[in-house]
Amino acid sequence: MARKSKASVESTEVLSGENAIQNKEIEGLSQGQIVRKRFFRHRAAVISLYTLIGIVLLAFTALDFRLFGIWRVPGWWKWTPEDLPELRFGDCPNDTVGCPTISFLPKFLGGQGIGLGTHPFGQDDIGRDFFALVMKGTQRSISVMVIIGGIGATLGIIVGSISGFYRGRIDAILMRFVDFMITIPVIIIGSVIGYRYGNLGATFLALLLGLFAWTGLSRLVRGEFLSLREREFVDAARVAGATNKRIIFKHILPNAIGVIIVSVTLLLSGAILLETALSYIGFGVVPPDVSLGLLISQYQDSFTTRPWLFWYPGLFIISIALSINFIGDGLRDAFDPRQRRRISKKERQESATARKLAQAND
C-alpha cells in the first residue's frame, strides 16, 4: 500500500472531525430548526434582518398610517408631509436654508449634542419637513415592494408548479407565454404602465407591476417541480392515494421552499429598485404622492447646495435593498444542505482533544 503523506492523514482527520461537529449540531432537530439555527449564525444576515425590521417600524410608526385604508394609526412624529413649517435659515453652513438638525457629535467634542432637533433631515425648498417626506417615501416604496413581491411570488409559484407538475400541453403553453414576457425588458413594460396608471395611486401601480414580475420565479419553480416530481417520496404519496393537490402542497412545495424563498428575496430587492427607478424617470409614483425615487429625482439638482435632500432618500433605498440581499444570502446558506460552515480553530481543537480522550479511554 502506498505510503500516506502526513498532510493527507491530517486533512482526512480534520475532515471527519468537521463532519462530527456538524452532525452533532443537527442531531434531533427538525428541518425548520436546522434552517433557523443556520440562518441566525450568518452574522450579516441577522444584522440585516434587524436593520430591515427597524426601518419598517420607523417608517410605519412615524407618520399617520391607514391600516387597510380604514383604521388610522396615529404617528409619533410632530410633522406630516403636508405641514408647511417656517423655513429655517441663518444657522446653516454656506448660507443654505433648511439644513438638517440631526447631530451625532456629543457636546464635549464640539458638536451640538446627540439629538434629533426640529428637522432632523432638514427641510425642502418650501419648508416641508424632510424627515416626514422620507418616512412617507419609505412607506410607499416598502408597500409597493411588498405588493409587487407578493403578487409576483403568488403568480410565479402557481404558474411554475402547475406547469412543472402537469407537464405536457399546459406546460408548453404557459412556458411559451413566459418566454414572450421575459423578452420584454421590465423597465419598458413598467414605464408603459407607469405612464398611464401612475396617477391612479401607488397601490394600483404596484398591483399592475406585480402582474409582470412573476416570470423568472415561475421558471425556477417549474424546474424544481420537474425534478422533485420524479422522486420516490412523490411515488410513495401517490401509492398511498394522495390527490394531486395534496402532493403539490404537502409534498413537493415544502421541498422547493428554500429555492422559492431565496428567489423571492431577490424579487423584492429588484422590486424596490424598479419602483425607485420608474419614479425617478417620472413613470412611477407621481406627485403629490411621495416615494424615495421621486424624492431623489425632485431634488437631484440641489445636490451641490443642499446635499441632504439627495443623501437621505438614497441611504434608505440602499439600506432596504442591501438588507434584503443579505437576508437572501443568509437564507440561501441556511437552506443549502451541502452548506458547511467554517469550523473555527478552537472548535477543531476541542473536537480533536475530545477524540483523543475517547481513544485513550478505549
Partner 1 sequence: MVAFVLRRLGVLGVILFGSSFILYNVAAISGDPTADLRLSTDPNRDFLIASLTRELQLDVPPPLRYFLWLKGVLGVFVGNPDFGIGRDGSAVVDSLALAIPVTLRLVAAATLFAAVLGIMIGIVTALRQYSRFDYSMTFIAFLLFSLPVFWVAVLLKEYLAISFNNFLREPNIPINWIIGIGLVSGLFWASVVGGSRKTYWTTYGVAFAASSALVTIFDITGWLLNPSLGPVVVLALSIGIAFGVTQLSVGLINKAALRASLTMAGLSVVAFYPVNWVFDNHPGALSIFLMACVLITTAVFVGLAFSKIDRAPIVRTSIITAVLSASLVLVDKFMQTWKPYMETDAINYRPVPTVGQRNDLLDTSDFWISSLDVVTHLFLPTLALTLIGFAGYIRFARGTLLEVLNQDYIRTARAKGLSERTVIMRHAFRNTMIPIATILVADFAGVIGGAFITESVFAWSGMGTLALQGIRAQDLNLLMGVFFITATLAVLANFAADLLYSALDPRIRVGSGA
**Of the residues 101, 263, 297, 351, which one makes contact with partner 1 according to CB under 8 A:** 297
Smallest gap from Cβ 329 to partner 1, in A, equals 7
- For residues 76 and 285, the answer to whether their CB atoms sit within 8 Å is no
Residues 40-59 that bind partner 1 (CB under 8 A): 44
If binding is defined by CB under 8 A, does position 249 make contact with partner 1?
no
Q: Which one, 130 or 326, has the nearer CB to partner 1?
A: 326
Using the 8-state DSSP alphabet, how is residue 241 labeled? T
Chain centre to alpha carbon of residue 315:
15
Q: Which residues lie across from 129 on neighbouring strands?
A: 123
The single residue among 40, 89, 104, 180 that binds partner 1, judged by CB under 8 A, is 180
Return the HEC string of 300-361.
HHHCCCCCHHHHHHHHHHHHHHHHHHHHHHHHHHHHCCCCCCCCCHHHHHHHHHHHHHHHHH
Interaction between residue 181 and partner 1 (CB under 8 A): yes
Q: Which of 243, 300, 305, 339 binds partner 1 (CB under 8 A)?
A: 300
Q: Exactly one of 13, 83, 179, 235 binds partner 1 (CB under 8 A); which one?
A: 179
C-beta closer to partner 1: residue 53 or 318: 318
Q: Work out the number of other CB atoms within 10 angstroms of the CB of residue 296.
A: 21
Would you count residue 201 as binding partner 1 (CB under 8 A)?
A: no
Strand partners, 89: 97
Whole-number minimum distance, CB 312 to partner 1, in Å? 12
What contacts 248, CB < 8 A, 6 or more positions away?
161, 165
Based on the shown chain and the rule CB under 8 A, indicate whether residue 189 belongs to the binding site for partner 1. Answer: yes
Number of neighbours of residue 148 by Cβ within 10 angstroms:
28
The Cα-based distances of 253 to 217, 221, 243 in angstroms read 14, 9, 14
User: Among residues 280, 308, 312, 335, which is the contact residue for partner 1, using CB under 8 A?
Assistant: 280
Radius of gyration of the chain (CA): 27
Rounded (5°) CA angle 272-275-276: 85
Under the binding rule (CB under 8 A), the answer on residue 193 touching partner 1 is yes
In the region spanning residues 306 to 335, those forming contacts with partner 1, defined by CB under 8 A, are 310, 314, 317-318, 321-322, 325-326, 329
Nearest to 224 by CA among 176, 259, 179, 267: 259
* Segment interacting with partner 1, rule: CB under 8 A, options 162-170, 230-238, 242-250, 278-286: 278-286
For partner 1, give the closer residue by CB, 160 or 284: 284
Per CB under 8 A, residues contacting partner 1 are 44, 176-177, 179-181, 183-189, 191-193, 195-197, 269, 273, 276-277, 280-281, 283, 293, 296-297, 300, 303-304, 310, 314, 317-318, 321-322, 325-326, 329, 342
